[in-house]
Structure 1
Amino acid sequence: MTAEPNERRAPVFSLPQDQLLTLNVNDIPVLKDAAGPGISFQPLYLDPEVGLWTVMGIFAPGAELPAHLHTGAVHGYTLSGSWIYKEYPDQVQIAGSYLYEPASSFHTFYVPDTNTEETLVLFIVYGANVGFTDDGQFHSILDALTVQKLAEQWAQANDAGTIHYLKGGSAGYTNGA
């Protein structure tokens, strides 16, 4: 007897999965200016408990993030446009560039104002970005929970309903505890 595809079992313990967790970025609204002027995004996967977040960042020419320290590693893949870290002006990231940033990296994200198109970057971020002002004072934290709240605030302000993205687990007790 042959098992149906969803009835196959591995010879080890595994988590149950009754559906493929997938989405199409074309079905997620661009949260225009949700993270600041010229800084838009689409949330793809947010897990505040683990501290993992994946977003499609959409940046207008001239957009800049505060100087920030990463508490975890970051993977970035540039799909269109170009950008730099001000601290590394000779290493321009263009379409097709893949970037890995180890934890404790510190830099200032900037999109040249000479760009003629929006810059689109897929970011997979572990932990948080701890932002600082130009004089080195604490500015902000950007992490999975903050991105989740920014999406909720943007949706409410724009009568957009629920923004759909994949999400991580949820803390709680086992039954009877």
Structure 2
Amino acid sequence: MVLPMPIHPQDSLLTLDTSKLPLIKNVLPGVHVYPCFLDPENGVWVLRVLFEPGVTLPKHFHTGAVHLYTMTGSWHYIEYPDQPQTAGSYLYEPGGSIHQLHVPESNTEVTDTFMMVTGANINFHENDEFMNVMDAGWIEMMIREAAKTQGIIPRYIKPASGAGYSDE
């Protein structure tokens, strides 16, 4: 068998070192982000997210799956207070799940996570009325707006006519 020709030839790897990238602060209040991969067309978002103590996200319905790894700190879903996610925890969420992420006020450090999300979060207000749709395109818009106010040009991997970086 002959080695096939690459579909997308590359002269280097598409890789990011978040420890060398600027942290985009307060993409949402108390939520700081290192974007890694944003693909609005296919509904995929990969982020390193740092949550400040006391952050509670809106209740949301997932249209796709989530993979979430907790590196430091702790958090839990309001619906599952007895199942905290702590450093070293990996969580898989199937599409169709509904929950609300909460970071305890008693945390002494930020909670550092890494997540890959497919699809969208349908967010709801406290009275369970529709709030908004949070998908890869919305996340990208929010990251760019927050970065602009901080004088940052975000760098992340973004597929296009050929895979590349956001700032190329």
- The unaligned stretches of length 5 or more in structure 1 are 1-9, 172-177
Summarize the alignment of residues 98-113 of structure 1 with structure 2, pairs less than 5 Å apart: 98-113=90-105
Residue by residue, what CA displacement relative to the aligned partner does 1:118-173 show, whole Å, maximum 9, x if unpaired? 0011010001111001111111222111111112111221122x2111112349xx
Match of 1:27 among 20, 31, 37: 20
Residue 82 (1) aligns with residue 110 (2): no
Where does residue 166 of structure 1 map in the other structure? 157
State the distance in 2 between where 1:150 and 1:50 align. 18
Q: Which amino acid aligns with 1:166?
A: I
Identity %: 44
Question: What's the CA shift for 1:26?
Answer: 1.2
Residue by residue, what CA displacement relative to the aligned partner does 1:51-92 show, whole Å, maximum 9, x if unpaired? 001001110110010000111000000000000001011110
Instruction: Select the structure of larger CA radius of gyration.
Output: 1
Number of residues paired by the alignment? 160
State the distance in 2 between where 1:71 and 1:142 align. 10
Question: What's the CA shift for 1:22?
Answer: 0.4
Where does residue 143 of structure 1 map in the other structure? 135
More displaced 10-residue stretch of structure 1: 132-141 or 109-118? 132-141
Q: Which amino acid aligns with 1:117?
A: E
SS in 2 for 1:32: strand
Tell me the TM-score normalized by structure 2: 0.90
Which structure has the highest strand share of the two? 2
State the distance in 2 between where 1:143 and 1:168 align. 16
**Post-superposition, which runs of at least 4 consecutive aligned residues in structure 1 deviate over 4 A?**
none
More displaced 10-residue stretch of structure 1: 112-121 or 140-149? 140-149
